[in-house]
Amino acid sequence: MSYFTHRFETRIARHAVGTYHYTVVYLDASLHSALPLEQHARLRIEADVSGVPVKGAWQPARGRWYLMLPKAPMKAAGLKIGSPVEVAFRVLPQDDVDIPDELAALLATKARVRKAWAALSPGKQRGIAHLVSSAKRPETKAARIQSIEAGLLGTAAPPWERPGGRASAATGE
């Protein structure tokens, strides 16, 4: 059995949402009935888009489902809007969370933090994990880990609930 359970060919597209524009692929309509799209607001998947690994979700928009693509890896692979691509994907467990090493180390060593983490929804956990993994500098990651720890312990406002909803307010970045 193949690692990826679904495959189709399409072209990379530009998807506009208000003033934002995303690089996406649209799910082949013939696959809609084969997937549990109605049970999930966003169906989490792992995919290969013409050699570029992507973790994300099929998201609904105007009767279609799209997957956002990472621009830098797509560009590095010579792919752009309009490029034909083969999309191979599999549905992930919907509670799946990729935890960066720095956050995993915190959770492994602090039982109270781990308990507070476990009480969060998978979506909130993914958002917090993204705060850590999106930091470019080690100092920023360390500052975000401290802020997340304080937020989970209740000793400071959680970075995910600060005005503006961004960790940058806490880390100065």
Q: Residue 162 — very low, low, confident or very high, per pLDDT cuts 50/70/90? A: low
Structure-block tokens of residue 110: 């602090």
Residue 96 has a pLDDT of 84
Q: What is the structure's pLDDT at 88?
A: 97
- CA atoms of 68 and 116, how far apart (whole Å): 30
Per-position b or e across 47-82, b if 16+ CB within 10 A of its CB: bbbbebebebbbbeeeeebbbebeeeebeeeebeee
- Would you state the pLDDT for residue 170? 42
pLDDT at 158: 84
Greater confidence (96 vs 8) lies with 8
Q: Enter the tokens of residue 53.
A: 């690994």
Class of domain 6-91: mainly beta
In DSSP terms, which residues pair with 23 in a beta bridge? 14
Give residue limits of the domains in the chain: 6-91, 101-171
What pLDDT, in 10s, does the model give residues 22-44?
999 999 999 999 999 989 889 99
Output the pLDDT for position 2: 73
Is 70 exceeded by the pLDDT of residue 165? no
- The residue-averaged pLDDT of 156-166 equals 70
Q: What value does the CA radius of gyration of the chain take, rounded to a whole number of Å?
A: 18
